[in-house]
Amino acid sequence: MLEYNDHVAVAVSGGKDSLTMLNLLVKLEGRFPRSRLTAVCIDEGIEGYRDEALELARSACEKLGVKQVVASYRDLFGTTTDELARMSRGQTPCSYCGVFRRKAINRVATTIGATKIATGHNLDDEAQTILLNMLHGDPLRIVRSGPVLRDPRGKFVPRIKPLCDIPEKEIVLYAYLTGTDFQSVACPHGHEALRNDIRSFLNQMEQKHPGTKYTLIRSAEKLRSAQSTQSPLPELHECEKCGDPTPHELCEACVMLQAVAV
Ligand SMILES: [Zn+2]
Which of 90, 32, 44, 38 has the alpha carbon at shortest distance from 67? 38
Cα 242 to ligand 1 centroid, rounded to whole Å: 4
Q: Which residue has the higher pLDDT, 79 or 127?
A: 127
Residues with CB under 5 A from ligand 1 (ion): 239, 241-242, 251, 254
Cα 244 to ligand 1 centroid, rounded to whole Å: 6
Cα 223 to ligand 1 centroid, rounded to whole Å: 30
Contact 31, 49 (CB under 8 A): no
> In the structure, what pLDDT confidence band is assigned to residue 159 with cuts at 50, 70 and 90?
very high
Cα 170 to ligand 1 centroid, rounded to whole Å: 38
pLDDT at position 66 is 97
> In the structure, what pLDDT confidence band is assigned to residue 96 with cuts at 50, 70 and 90?
confident
Cα 219 to ligand 1 centroid, rounded to whole Å: 33
Q: In terms of C-beta density within 10 A (0-12 exposed, 13-18 middle, 19 or more buried), how is residue 39 classed?
A: buried
Cα 164 to ligand 1 centroid, rounded to whole Å: 29
Cα 113 to ligand 1 centroid, rounded to whole Å: 21
Average confidence (pLDDT) over 149-153: 86
Cα 103 to ligand 1 centroid, rounded to whole Å: 9
pLDDT at position 233 is 74
pTM for this entry: 0.88
Contact 48, 41 (CB under 8 A): no
Residue 261 has pLDDT above 80, yes or no: no
pLDDT digits (tens, 9 = 90+) for 2-56: 999 999 999 999 999 999 999 999 999 999 999 999 999 999 998 888 888 999 9
Contact 45, 73 (CB under 8 A): yes
Average pLDDT, the chain: 91
Residue 176 has pLDDT above 70, yes or no: yes
Cα 52 to ligand 1 centroid, rounded to whole Å: 30
Average confidence (pLDDT) over 182-198: 83
Cα 259 to ligand 1 centroid, rounded to whole Å: 13
Q: What are phi and psi of 37, to 5 degrees?
A: -125, 140
Cα 150 to ligand 1 centroid, rounded to whole Å: 21
